[in-house]
Amino acid sequence: MKVVDLFCGCGGLSLGFQKAGFNILAAFDNWDDAITVYHANFKHPVIKQDLSNVDQTVEKVKKYKPDMIIGGPPCQDFSSAGKRDENNGRGDLTINYAQVIAALKPDWFVMENVDRITKTEKLVEAKTIFKQCGYGLTYAILNASRCGAPQRRKRFIMIGHLGEEDGFMSNILELRQSDKEMTVADYFGSQLDIQYYYRHPRSYARRGIFSVNEPSPTIRGVNRPMPAGYQLHSNDPVKSLEGIRPLTTLERSMIQTFPKDFRFLGNKTNMEQMIGNAVPVNLARYVGECIMAYLGNNNPVNYEQLREDYPEKIVNNSSVSINPELKVDKEKNVLISLVKNDNVDLFLDGSARIYYTGKKFPSTVALNKLYYFMPYVKQKGIRDIYLIKIARVGSKHEIHPDADENDLRLVFEIEKIGQLFDDYKPVELKIWHTFTDTTIKSVLSNRL
C-alpha cells in the first residue's frame, strides 16, 4: 500500500509503518532540523512544506497518488505538557490535516495525537470533515507499553477507511495488545548498565527516579540533568541518589524504539525535542500491523527484524511452575502448529521441550501475547497443551550443528501441562489465517 506521511518529524511514524510492510513514497514537514534527520535515515524524498497551506499541500501530495495518508499534527496545544489551549494556533493544524484528507480522499488515513485531544472541539470538527467525506472511523487510546514500546505513553489513534462502518477495527486494535506492559528491562535486556535513572518531574510533588523494571514515563522533548539539590521523593524507589543519572539521548531514542543505528543529527536541544515529539516506532508499527491484519495480508514474519526488536526473549514465562493444580486460563492466547513427522514421537509421549517453526510464519500472529502451545499431529488433530516458557528467535543450529546458523526460526521452549481433551480432536489447521484471537476459549467452543 502506497503511503505519504504528513508532519513526519524525524520519522517515527514512517519507520513503524515501513516495518509493518507499507511503502512510504514521501514525507512532508516544515522543521528543517527534523527534515535533515529524516533525510539521513530514509531513501524516499522528504519535502519541506508549510502544512497549514492546504491548497499547496494538496497539489504537492496528489502527484504521489497515495492509498493512505498518515500523520501526527503537532499536539502541543492539547498536551498536558503544553498550555492546553486548543485555540493557540497549532490546534488548527489538526483541521488542516483533515482538510488535506478531504481534498485527496485516499482509501485510508491514520491520525496520531495526544490522548487529551478527545476533550477538544478541534477533534469534533475534524471528525465532522472525515464523516462528510464518507470515512468509517475507528479510534482508540493506545498505551505504547502494551504495543511493543517500553514506555507508558498514551496516544490517540484514529484510522479512517472509505465506505466502512464506524468501529470497523476496534476489536483488532484491542486484541493485539499485550496483556503485560513492556518494561525498560524487557526491551533493553543486558544493554543498560543501570537499574534506576532520573527523569525530571514537572513538579517536585512528583517522583523523579524510575526503575528499569517498569515502563518508562513518557519521553518528553527535554532531558534535564538531575539538580544538585534534588531531594528524594517518597515514591522514589531508591534510598540513595548514588549512581543515579538521566538517560542519554541514545537511550531515550531507543525507548522511543528507534533502532540503535538511527542517525540523529544537530544540536542536543533539537535532537531531544525530535525524540520527544516522535511517535514511538513500535507503536506506529503496531497500528500498521493491525491494518495489515484487518486486510488479511498474511506476510511472513521477518526474523532478522524480529531479532532486532526482541534481542533476547519475545515471551518469558520461565517463572511459571507446572503443577497438578495449574488451571488453564481460557482467555490466554494459544498457538496451534503442525508437528513434523520426525518429531511426532516426542509430542505423543509428552517429552518435547522445544518447538521450531518452519521457515515461514505469519506476521499477523501477536507473538508477545502467546502463552500456550498445542501441537497439531497429522491425521489426529490436537489434544495436549503446553506452556510456552520462552519464545525467542533462534535457529536449528543450536541442536543440529550441521544446520545453517543463519536459517532463523521462532523457537518455543515448552513444558507440557496436560491434556485439554480426552482424545485427539480433529480441527482445520489455519495458522495462515490466524491473527490474534485464537484463545483457549475459542478452541474449547470449536470456533476455529
Q: Which amino acid is at 89?
A: G
DSSP E strands: which ranges in 165-292?
A: 196-198, 209-211
Asked if 94 and 126 touch (Cβ cutoff 8 Å), the reply is yes
Q: Hunting for cell 513514497 — which residue is that? A: 25
Q: Which H, E and C letters describe 105-145, residue by residue?
A: CCCEEEEEEEHHHHHCHHHHHHHHHHHHCCEEEEEEEEEHH
Interatomic CA distance for residues 338 and 125, integer angstroms: 51
Asked if 362 and 432 touch (Cβ cutoff 8 Å), the reply is yes
Torsion angle, CA of 143/147/152/153, rounded to 10 degrees?
-60
Q: Is 75 a catalytic residue?
A: yes
CA–chain centroid gap for 190, Å, is: 21
DSSP 341: G
Radius of gyration of the chain (CA): 24
b/e burial code for range 190-221 (CB count within 10 A of at least 16 → b):
eeeeeebbbbbeeeeeebbbbbbebbbbbbbb
Q: Of the residues 75, 133, 147, 290, which is catalytic?
A: 75
Query: Which residues carry out catalysis?
Result: 75
